[in-house]
Amino acid sequence: MEKAAVVWFRKDLRVHDHEPLVQAAKSGLPVIGLYVFDPKEYEETRYGFKKTDRHRARFVQDSVEDLRRNLETIGVPLLIRHENPADAFSVLSQQVSIQSVYLHEDIASEELAVEDSVRKVLPDAAFTVSHGRNLIHPDDLPFAIEELPQTFSQYRKKLEKAGTPIRTAIPAPLNVTGLTMRGSLPLGDCPTLSDLGLEELTRTPRYTGGSSQAKERLTDYFFTKDRLKVYKETRNGMLAEDDSSKFSPWLAHGCLSPRVVYEQIKRYEKERVENGSTYWLYVELLWRDYFHLVHRKFGNRLFFASGLRDFSVPWEQDETLTQAWIQGKTGYPLVDAAMRELKETGFMSNRARQNAASFFTKNLGLDWRIGAAWFESQLVDFDVASNYGNWLYSAGVGNDPIQFRTFNVEKQAADYDPEGDYLKHWLPELRRVPVPWIHATREMGLIEQKEYGVTLGEDYPLPIIDLQEAMRERRERMKQAMGKT
């Protein structure tokens, strides 16, 4: 049987800055790429919705197909399978003699369990695991993981004081040994959405997966549209595509390496301008790293109801309130616009995410894990550490130094969407409602409702809770949980 090295692609769907691929090429063995659609990733969760729904599934399909094309250019075949990864490796090991497996590290417990099951079916293969997800290589951190600073700003200052280096991105290998018997190996195709048990998309995907598209977006946002120079001022916008980078879907699936983004920031600073905006995009990449480190340090506590805290919060479960939030029918336009955008496109801006999560936990008082699971199901850019870390933060049981940070969703809408453009875009029933009513629909009397063509309670819901009262109540309960009066 022909000997081979396998590069196991998971959340690293690119050929650039890919250490496992470079190492496999250096081994001198013929190299095979493998991507496995694990049916478990597409199952229903205990909350009744899919772990991965159609938006992300479609993004992964496109990314895997793009990866196959890019690997072909360097002579590496990408095998695509739809089964349990251990079974996929087991079958492959009957066709080629797998000497070594090269992969990027994934620290989430479910992924580690899958990796373990693969190692069991290949007892004689050597496994080489690289770090490749972050801007800063974990070995270069100026502290041990147990000493990870409590807050993001302490962490950022520590890195900057130590002058922590950022490693250069590695180019894709040029010389890869080909497989003699490749013609007899079935390549396999991506399963369709229906094969994955998902419904078809009803609109064109907002973002197309793949590192080719990632590079296009990077060039477009930085150099063609020249938007990096105003990033800090625009990044809180909720509607326009270029208000923020929109790199997250590609970063989450590893179609884009954060080190490549960093290198392009540096190039931009040299060729165009270095200012607060160019620095701020780098800071956001550090936030991403920080949540990954929080995950590394706290492990599964990221998924506990009490999060990183040592008091237990009496989270509630209420199907009617949860459904109103999911369907965008809470009677609070900012929350509703955000939730409908998520369901329709698989994306939501950071400002909208903060408000939707704050409303779910601090106003509705619902178990943050349900909200996080819904985001996990829908988000095209879902990333375990970023999603659960941000949810913990929003729920007040994570790394936020401010104990009772609560977003007033009406004030936030008026501040960040002063003309109501975002609200009207996602809530067509409110399209004729002008400012200031659009920011406080619940205060519209019968005359206004008639004038603007919307009947509250019929065309658009009345608020499902009283915002101020709910906020006060939650604050009290949180204080009690912490043992404060």
Binding site for ligand FAD (CB under 6 A): 235, 244-248, 251-252, 281, 284-285, 287-288, 291, 349-350, 353-354, 357, 375, 379, 381-383, 386-387, 390-391, 394
Q: Is 417 a known ligand-binding residue? A: no
Q: Is 247 a known ligand-binding residue? A: yes
What phi, psi does 128 have (nearest 5°)? -120, 120
Q: Is 246 a known ligand-binding residue? A: yes
What is the CA angle 288-209-358, rounded to 5?
40
Q: Is 332 a known ligand-binding residue? A: no
Q: CB of residue 265 vs ligand FAD: minimum separation in angstroms?
A: 10
Identify which of residues 179 and 261 has a Cβ nearer to ligand FAD in the complex: 261
Identify which of residues 302 and 379 has a Cβ nearer to ligand FAD in the complex: 379
Rounded CA gap, 435 and 299, in Å?
A: 46
Q: CB of residue 372 vs ligand FAD: minimum separation in angstroms?
A: 7
Cβ(127)–Cβ(101) under 8 Å?
Answer: yes
Give the pair of three-digit tokens for residue 32. Answer: 């095979």
Q: CB of residue 326 vs ligand FAD: minimum separation in angstroms?
A: 14
Q: Is 308 a known ligand-binding residue? A: no
Cβ(477)–Cβ(346) under 8 Å?
Answer: no
Identify which of residues 23 and 244 has a Cβ nearer to ligand FAD in the complex: 244
Place of tokens 């895997």: 64
What is the CA angle 379-360-304, rounded to 5?
75
Rounded CA gap, 54 and 338, in Å?
A: 18
Q: Is 286 a known ligand-binding residue? A: yes
Q: Which residues pair with 127 in a beta bridge?
A: 101
DSSP-assigned letters across all residues of 113-142: HHHHHHHHH-TTSEEEEE--SSSS-GGG-S
Q: Return the closest-CA partner of residue 244 out of 253, 231, 254.
A: 231
Identify which of residues 376 and 441 has a Cβ nearer to ligand FAD in the complex: 376
Place of tokens 């949860």: 322
Q: CB of residue 459 vs ligand FAD: minimum separation in angstroms?
A: 29
Identify which of residues 22 and 261 has a Cβ nearer to ligand FAD in the complex: 261
* CA of residue 418 relative to chain centroid, distance: 28
Q: Is 285 a known ligand-binding residue? A: yes
Q: Which residues pair with 129 in a beta bridge?
A: 103
* CA of residue 33 relative to chain centroid, distance: 24
End-to-end CA distance of the chain: 72
Q: Is 245 a known ligand-binding residue? A: yes
* CA of residue 379 relative to chain centroid, distance: 7
Cβ(59)–Cβ(105) under 8 Å?
Answer: no
Identify which of residues 100 and 394 has a Cβ nearer to ligand FAD in the complex: 394
Identify which of residues 391 and 460 has a Cβ nearer to ligand FAD in the complex: 391
Q: CB of residue 230 vs ligand FAD: minimum separation in angstroms?
A: 12
Strands 126-130 and 97-104: parallel
Q: CB of residue 99 vs ligand FAD: minimum separation in angstroms?
A: 35
Q: Is 460 a known ligand-binding residue? A: no
Identify which of residues 252 and 465 has a Cβ nearer to ligand FAD in the complex: 252
Q: Is 215 a known ligand-binding residue? A: no
Q: CB of residue 113 vs ligand FAD: minimum separation in angstroms?
A: 21
Q: Return the closest-CA partner of residue 429 out of 455, 448, 447, 410.
A: 455
Q: CB of residue 241 vs ligand FAD: minimum separation in angstroms?
A: 9
Identify which of residues 20 and 398 has a Cβ nearer to ligand FAD in the complex: 398
Q: Is 415 a known ligand-binding residue? A: no
Rounded CA gap, 296 and 146, in Å?
A: 9
Q: CB of residue 474 vs ligand FAD: minimum separation in angstroms?
A: 17
Residue ranges at the known binding site for FAD: 231, 244-248, 284-291, 381-383
